[in-house]
């Protein structure tokens, strides 16, 4: 393996250490300068390592031309909207520099790392293991925080943030780790392979700890996201059931469904907001009442006389308003984290922040064409992961599929197309996409090679 030749590959060892450090500090608040420094250093280091790897064997990019082509066109469109369409060009260009440029660097760094180690299964396994360990450290701290008052008060702390800036931020990390674990569980049980260097019992223990973290983080959108991915996993397991003993397929399916149902039940029982959600929907769809713009405005009331739950009301109303804004400004008002707030001010004369939906924020900023390009990019990543799974039954393909499916749902209900959430997703997606594409090319080459006589 690459790491076996330590004398010649100390740069790779340093690079993996830096990647592990980057993944650990990425979601920690007030570490922006350190993140940026690590990103830039990794960019240069992995570019050199990828170049060195390409000298030994060139990499065919055919499977990646469409996703990266869509991303490039999307990036050009974002800049075009800022310069030619937005009435706040300076603000949008600053947001592009601070948000999209950094996310693009993260994508390039992840892709370069994948290109550097694509032919080395041992190094690939090590890389994904250290990324998983970085995520696990965050999850363990969440569990520790939740249990910290148990000896004295016999209660669990909930909505725990861990080392991050909020329980929603820590939940992104927990779900990401669970997608790795779920991919490994399916690879072992369905395809009878082992990828991550961990035994079955430690794998089960880590999974239970991560599920416990999901519970104490108490993020209903995070649990809904996890349920969606578990549903995808059920479909994949049943698709492969003809390759397995029927009893094993049923057992795996039941286990996944039970986990999803238990998490959902505990969340609904614990989160009082669900009790008034359905009653709030028709109230929130009436966006002529501008109370959704600012919580300080008089709020609508439910049938029992109580005011609506702000989170339920505001999220639904802002999604509805976001669709209206995209109809009013189909080319957007300029890319930015708070583009929704700028669009609201342009139409209603009142400023607010983001919409709590990444896709609505994106649509308000770069319009319908931008949303279609972004959805196309995610769709091609899903297709690439599925193709890789069908042809190789590999962990990277399954992890790419779960990661992209989870992120695609979460961006609908949370503002995840921003900050470290976007950067971490693009880094991992590009890294896994390069690995999957490399294996697809390798199999095609073996298939097309003439048989020896």
Helices and strands per DSSP (H, E), number in the chain: 17, 0
Banded model confidence at residue 236, pLDDT cuts 50, 70, 90: confident
- DSSP annotation string for 377-440: HHHHHHHHHHHHHHHH--HHHHHHHHHHHHHHHHHHHS--SSHHHHHHHHHHHHHHHHHHHHHH
Q: How many CB atoms lie within 10 A of CB 231?
A: 14
Of 192, 244, 416, the C-alpha closest to 184 is 192
Q: What is the pLDDT of residues 341-395, one digit of tens each?
A: 999 999 999 989 899 999 999 999 999 999 999 999 999 999 999 999 988 889 9
pLDDT tens-digit map of 280-305:
899 999 999 999 999 888 999 988 88
Gap between the Cα atoms of 453 and 203, Å rounded: 46
Residues 54-87: tens digit of each pLDDT? 877 766 677 799 999 999 999 999 999 999 999 9
Residue 269 clears pLDDT 70, i.e. is over it: no
CB 361, CB 380: distance < 8 Å: no
Q: Residue 443: what pLDDT?
A: 57
Question: Per residue in 392-424, pLDDT tens?
Answer: 889 999 999 999 999 999 999 999 999 999 999
Average pLDDT over residues 251-276: 69
Which letter does DSSP use for residue 162 in this model?
A: T
Contact 379, 319 (CB under 8 A): no
Q: What pLDDT, on a 0 to 100 scale, did the predictor assign at position 189?
A: 84
Q: Which two tokens mark 107? A: 């994508």
| Confidence check: pLDDT of 6 > 80 | no
**Residue owning tokens 């500090």:** 25
The pLDDT value recorded for residue 449 is 46
- For residues 40 and 105, give the distance between their C-alpha atoms in angstroms, rounded to a whole number: 8
> The pTM is what?
0.92
């Amino acid at each position: 393996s690459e790491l076996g030749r330590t004398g010649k590959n100390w740069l790779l060892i340093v690079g993996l250490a830096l990647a592990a450090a980057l993944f650990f500090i990425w979601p920690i608040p007030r570490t922006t300068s350190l993140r940026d420094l690590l990103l830039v250093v990794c960019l240069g280091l992995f570019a050199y390592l990828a170049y060195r790897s390409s000298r030994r064997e060139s990499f065919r990019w055919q499977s990646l031309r469409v996703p990266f082509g869509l991303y490039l066109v999307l990036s050009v469109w974002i800049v075009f909207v800022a310069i030619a369409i937005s009435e706040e060009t300076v603000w949008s260009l600053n947001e592009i520099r601070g948000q999209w440029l950094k996310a693009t660097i993260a994508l390039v760094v992840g892709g370069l790392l994948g290109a550097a180690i694509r032919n080395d299964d041992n190094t690939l396994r090590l890389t994904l293991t250290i990324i998983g360990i970085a995520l696990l450290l965050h999850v363990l701290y969440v569990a520790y925080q939740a249990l910290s008052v148990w000896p004295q008060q016999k209660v669990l702390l909930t909505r725990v943030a861990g080392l991050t800036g909020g329980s929603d931020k820590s939940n992104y990390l927990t779900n990401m780790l669970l997608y790795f674990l779920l991919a490994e569980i399916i690879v072992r049980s369905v395809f009878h392979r082992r990828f991550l260097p961990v035994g079955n019992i430690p794998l089960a223990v880590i999974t239970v700890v991560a599920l416990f973290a999901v519970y104490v983080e108490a993020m209903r959108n995070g649990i809904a996201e996890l349920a969606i991915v578990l549903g995808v996993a059920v479909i994949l397991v049943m698709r492969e059931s003809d390759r397995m003993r029927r009893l094993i397929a049923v057992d795996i399916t039941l286990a996944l469904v039970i986990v999803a149902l238990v998490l959902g039940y505990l969340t609904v029982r614990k989160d009082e907001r669900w009790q008034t959600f359905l009653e709030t929907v028709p109230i929130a769809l009436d966006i002529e009442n501008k109370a959704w713009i600012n919580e300080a405005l008089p709020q609508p009331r439910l049938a029992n006389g109580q005011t609506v739950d702000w989170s339920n009301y505001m999220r639904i109303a802002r999604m509805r308003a976001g669709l209206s804004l995209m109809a009013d400004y189909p080319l957007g008002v300029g890319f930015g984290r708070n583009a929704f707030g700028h669009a609201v001010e342009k139409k209603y004369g009142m400023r607010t922040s983001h919409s709590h939906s990444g896709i609505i924020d994106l649509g308000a900023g770069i319009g319908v064409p931008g949303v279609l390009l972004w959805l196309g990019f995610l769709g091609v990543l899903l297709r690439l992961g599925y193709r890789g799974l069908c042809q190789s039954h590999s962990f990277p393909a399954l992890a790419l599929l779960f990661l992209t499916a989870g992120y695609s749902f979460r961006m609908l209900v949370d503002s995840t197309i921003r900050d470290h959430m976007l950067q971490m997703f693009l880094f991992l997606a590009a890294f896994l996409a390069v690995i999957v594409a490399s294996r697809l090319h390798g199999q095609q080459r073996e298939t097309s090679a003439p048989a020896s006589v």
